[in-house]
Amino acid sequence: MSKIFAISSAGKTEKSFLDLRFGKCENVVTYNAETGETTIIENPYKNEAHSGINLVKFLINKGVSTIITGEVGAHFIIRVGFVFKHKF
């Protein structure tokens, strides 16, 4: 199984800035580490309630194994149950 990264993005290219808002990000850039393929996906949930949780489910169905983002909301942390590690 290949490692697929999802990065919340403010733009529509792989060189766009990171969007700090995960659930409300404009787009998601995915990168497949095995094949080197990059794709840009418009966030279909950016204007909905619980957008972060819905976006995670969507990305899991796309095979994403790692999410890179700036911030997530409280509902996301509670419902999804992720543990965040910060390195300073």
pLDDT for the residue 62 = 92
Q: Is the pLDDT of residue 68 over 70?
A: yes
| Homologous superfamily of the 4-80 domain (CATH) | Dinitrogenase iron-molybdenum cofactor biosynthesis domain (3.30.420.130)
| The overall pTM is greater than 0.85 | no
Give 50 or 39, the one with higher predicted confidence: 39
Where do the domains of the chain lie?
4-80
Distance CA 53, CA 80 (A): 7
Provide the pLDDT confidence category of residue 35 given band limits of 50, 70 and 90: very high
pLDDT of residue 83: 41
